[in-house]
Amino acid sequence: MSLYTSRSVTCLRLRSTRCAEFKRGVPTMVKRTTTPTRIPDRLSYLWLAIAAALYLFTGGQWVIPLAAWLAPLFLLRFVRTQRPLPGLLLAWLVRFAVAAIFVLQGSQFPPGTPPGYYALVLLFSLVAILPYLADRLITPRLQGFVATLVFPLAFTMIEFLVSFGLAGTLNSIAYTQYGDLPLMQLVSVTGIWGIIFLITWFAAVVNWAWERGFAWPNVRGGGLLYAAVLAVVLLGGGARLALFPPQATLVRVAGLSPSQAAVAALKKQLPQETGSLLLSGKATQADRALARSAFTTLDDDLLARSQQEARAGAKIVVWPEASPVSASILQEDEPALIQRAGALAREADIYLDMALGVFLPDVGKGPFLKDEAVLLDPTGHVVWTYEIAHLVPGGQGLYVQGDGKVPLVESPYGRLAGVICYDLDYPGTMRQAGQAGADLLLGPSDDWQGFDPSHAQKATFRAIENGFSLVRETSQGLSIAVDYEGRVLSASDYFTTDHQVMVAYVPMHGVRTIYATIGDLFAWLCIIGLVALTGLAIIQSRKRRSAAAAVPLPESQPTR
């Protein structure tokens, strides 16, 4: 064997980046290091700029579905072409800047949120970089197409773990795909975790092909595999929509918010400072008497208009969640209001889901308010009293927190279940309704202008996941009714209409879904998969180091 051949075999075994130098006879040595490989790219900072621009359209009020597929792709390319620490630091700065812009839009926190909660933006942006860190550390140590799974597995795992926290799934990248009904059907099997995985796997696969120069012979297998998976998902979702649309009998449901005239009268009667005193537990008896009179104006308006909707044919009437512009009551006055509402439900033969803000007697310390929904049946009896389980940032200490047990009742119009607003951002809570076979979920809500209409649109995913139709009546936001496949049956926006009524004809029967049965199994499999790949990367890395140490390097000879 010639010296040149011997050196070529040694290079093949070492898989070293210094092979070319060794062949030329240049003195060299094997550098044993655990630093992840860096891919040189002169356009690296261009990819960072493109990623930053695209991320602006993945949340807040500016959402372009395609941007959610491309932004991680370019940011991943940038991180892989930089040294780990500076690359990840710049990636974090991009995510932090974009999150700060979303906050300035008012799309993250409701007005009046204590300033301390804005520090969460810093935390969330740091967490958002963890999948890129995992990719940077693990992927270079793996061989073959399996390495493309690290990034999507890590991304899905992080979003899943974050969903148990203060924000739930509120900032999930999956929600950017609202409106793509064939793709959205995937959540009936995997939950939103399947969509997250597909989006981020696309980023990893394209980067894998990029590193191979997009040479078709080198990337054909992996590219076709991803394309086949995506095609199966889209074809399956399209088939579900085309072949299995809702066939059940429909029931007329009305959602209504207080009229603009009633809201104006409330604001005139109730000074803002009196409302603040009620929320802080410092209201005097005179303040409470003033509030009683103002609240009565709004409550009377809702009762009268509920009766109108019943006369028009509605069998279920839903009020919006408690807010400064919807139904409120002092705790000592609540029994009388429920008695009046019960008489209305009995006379009109309707189910009335009456969402209320109940101000508790001043006790010197919080909580000072109950955010609840009271469902009355056609006999006038209370079927359930449900208190919100997941509070918006800033609500802790002010509101009574419910136990999170989703109520359900049999009715002539299917199995009815109920939650309130922010509960819809927690798939684990909502899966209770899916497991119980709910047909229709009532979700009185309240948003704010910076959160409109995205928050209501996100709730659509819960309906598809669990196989129930959803009526989400909202004050200060988008009211929406959807069937269990995500089709919009009716919608009305608080800020663009004076007539605060939404009427929808909703299927009386839902369907059983795989997700409601198996829950977050896909997310847990992603966690297991990432742990397995981490172990594989460690094993492969050790084998390569052992092989390198076992191969003696011949002495280099000077070139002539």
Count other C-beta atoms under 10 Å from residue 229's C-beta.
14
Task: Look at residues 547, 424, 555 and name the one whose alpha carbon lies nearest to residue 477.
Answer: 424
CA angle at 485 for the pair 319 and 418, rounded to the nearest 5°: 30
User: Which pLDDT tens digits describe the chain residue by residue (560 residues)?
Assistant: 443 344 444 444 444 444 444 344 333 444 444 445 677 889 999 999 999 999 999 988 889 999 999 999 999 999 999 999 999 999 999 999 998 888 877 766 666 666 666 777 888 899 999 999 999 999 999 999 999 999 999 999 999 999 999 889 999 999 999 999 999 999 999 999 999 999 999 999 999 999 999 999 999 999 999 999 999 999 999 999 999 999 989 999 999 998 888 888 888 898 888 888 888 888 888 989 999 999 999 999 999 999 999 999 999 999 999 988 899 999 999 999 999 999 999 999 999 999 999 999 876 777 889 999 999 999 999 999 999 999 987 777 788 999 999 999 999 999 999 999 999 999 999 999 999 999 999 999 999 888 889 999 999 999 999 999 999 999 999 999 999 999 999 999 998 887 789 999 999 999 999 999 999 999 999 999 999 999 999 999 888 888 878 776 666 555 54
pLDDT for the residue 559: 52
Q: For residues 183 and 195, is the Cβ–Cβ distance under 8 A?
A: yes
Q: For residues 496 and 278, is the Cβ–Cβ distance under 8 A?
A: no
The single residue listed with the structure tokens 């129930």 is 468
Q: For residues 376 and 386, is the Cβ–Cβ distance under 8 A?
A: no
- To which H or E segment does residue 9 belong? helix 3-14
Dmax (CA) for the chain in angstroms is: 106
pLDDT for the residue 119: 74
Separation CA 388–CA 321 (nearest Å):
10
CA angle at 155 for the pair 149 and 159, rounded to the nearest 5°: 145
pLDDT for the residue 27: 38
164: helix, strand or coil: coil
CATH class of 250-517: alpha beta
Give domain limits for the chain.
Answer: 48-244+526-537, 250-517
Separation CA 222–CA 228 (nearest Å):
10
Annotate 277-290 with b (16+ C-beta within 10 A) or e (fewer): bbbebebeeebbeb
Separation CA 452–CA 227 (nearest Å):
34
Q: Which amino acid, one-letter code, is at 500?
A: Q
- To which H or E segment does residue 433 belong? helix 427-435
What is the CB-side half-sphere exposure of residue 146 using CA atoms within 13 A?
A: 13
Q: For residues 377 and 411, is the Cβ–Cβ distance under 8 A?
A: yes
Q: For residues 148 and 222, is the Cβ–Cβ distance under 8 A?
A: yes
Separation CA 164–CA 461 (nearest Å):
17
**DSSP code for 399:** B
pLDDT for the residue 175: 98
Task: Look at residues 350, 349, 391, 351 and name the one whose alpha carbon lies nearest to residue 370.
Answer: 391
Q: Per residue in 403-432, pLDDT tens?
A: 999 999 999 999 999 999 999 999 999 999
Q: Which amino acid, one-letter code, is at 233?
A: V
Q: Per residue in 11-69, pLDDT tens?
A: 444 444 444 443 443 334 444 444 456 778 899 999 999 999 999 999 888 899 999 99
Separation CA 366–CA 401 (nearest Å):
11
Separation CA 431–CA 413 (nearest Å):
21
Separation CA 149–CA 138 (nearest Å):
10
**DSSP code for 331:** G
Taking CA atoms, 2 is separated from 9, 11, 252, in Å, by 11, 14, 87
Q: For residues 97 and 121, is the Cβ–Cβ distance under 8 A?
A: no
pLDDT for the residue 179: 96
pLDDT for the residue 166: 86
The set of residues, in sequence order, having a beta carbon less than 8 Å from that of 553 and lying 6+ positions away, is 10, 29, 30
Q: For residues 193 and 155, is the Cβ–Cβ distance under 8 A?
A: no
Separation CA 313–CA 116 (nearest Å):
48
Full-prediction pTM beyond 0.85? yes
- To which H or E segment does residue 328 belong? strand 328-330
The single residue listed with the structure tokens 């509960």 is 423
The set of residues, in sequence order, having a beta carbon less than 8 Å from that of 395 and lying 6+ positions away, is 371
405: helix, strand or coil: coil
Q: What's the full length of the chain, in residues?
A: 560
Kindly give the residue spans of alpha helices, DSSP state H, lying in 211-358: 216-243, 260-269, 272-280, 285-311, 334-348
